[in-house]
Amino acid sequence: MRFIKPQEPILVLEPPVSDDWLHEIKFDGFRTQLILDWAGARAFTRTGIDWSKRYWPIVAAVEKLPAKSLILDGEVIAPDPDGRPKFHRMHSRMAWNAELLAFVAFDILHLDGWDLRSLPALERKAMLWDLVKPAEGIIQYSQHVVGGGAEFYAAVDKMGLEGMVSKRRGSPYHSGPSDIWVKTKCWEIGDFELLGIRREPGKPPQGIMARGGKYAGSATVALTREMRERLWERVRKGRTPPPGLPKAISKAEWLKPGITARVRYLRGEPKLRHATVQDFSEEPDKVRRQPSNKR
């Protein structure tokens, strides 16, 4: 069997609340498709790259499932002892401790010669559970709830997880982006270095952000008029952009160093997304002390 392009959830800012949806945790790892047939088991990335050697314990585990052929959709994670995924441990475990990885299965596309993609999502989940139960250890099962999207989101946020994925309970499996799968991410608030401001006609100003000296993305400057005026006073005319920034944002008004912005942004993104500046603070000017004549 061949790799199937995965279905992709679209990002929404509020979870669906009707009982027509089932909800799962959005696991912070690498999207993976497992295929088992007469040639053995293989593991593929979301773009179809064969990572079977990197995920060799998972590949070995799927060969022990009670099926002659299958295609599973899921996420490879690096779980802590309490089961929470830790994305920053993925690369080291792939290189040195692949047996500490886990595959969280959340869909099944083929089973023993049958194409299951036209079945409702809830039926596919039931077939998946029958295949992988008790789903402990290296092959795990993505639990779900039906309805109660707002409550599920609140629980995910309280646990400090990245977010949730919601799927219409009666929907088939369609490759590519689709609004029958949606993802809702949780929010974080943190401090960033404010490097500059980019202003375009008809658009709100965007702050150019960094963290630890590295470019982190941009955030809408949603401040009061008084705070914006204070910010514009820090613009350094003629200042060149800091090193390491993408060329696409080279045209901006660069600020004097020492401004820290409090930013609200989506959790679990490599760069700031849907971010807004809520406040900012300035480092007080350093007063140069005069040398003392006292001994």
Q: What is the pLDDT of residues 258-267, one digit of tens each?
A: 889 999 999 8
β-pairing, 214-221 with 276-282? parallel
Q: Which two tokens stand for residue 142?
A: 């993505």
Helix (H, G, I), strand (E, B) or coil at 267: coil
- Short-list 15, 33, 47, 5, CA closest to 183: 15
Q: What 3-state DSSP class applies to 265?
A: strand
The model's pTM: 0.80
Fold classification of 7-185 (topology level): D-amino Acid Aminotransferase; Chain A, domain 1 (3.30.470)
Question: End-to-end distance of the chain based on CA atoms, in angstroms?
Answer: 85
Residue 217: count other Cβ atoms within 10 Å of its Cβ: 21
Q: What is the CATH number of domain 187-282?
A: 2.40.50.140
Three-state DSSP class for residue 47: coil
Question: How do the domains of the chain map onto residue ranges?
Answer: 7-185, 187-282
The pLDDT tens digits for 155-172 are 999 998 999 999 999 999
Quick one: pLDDT at residue 238? 52
**Secondary structure (3-state) at 87:** helix
Active site members: 26
User: Residue 137: what pLDDT?
Assistant: 81
CB 17 within 8 A of CB 2: no
Comparing C-alpha atoms, which of 18, 21, 17 is closest to residue 9?
Answer: 21
DSSP 63: T
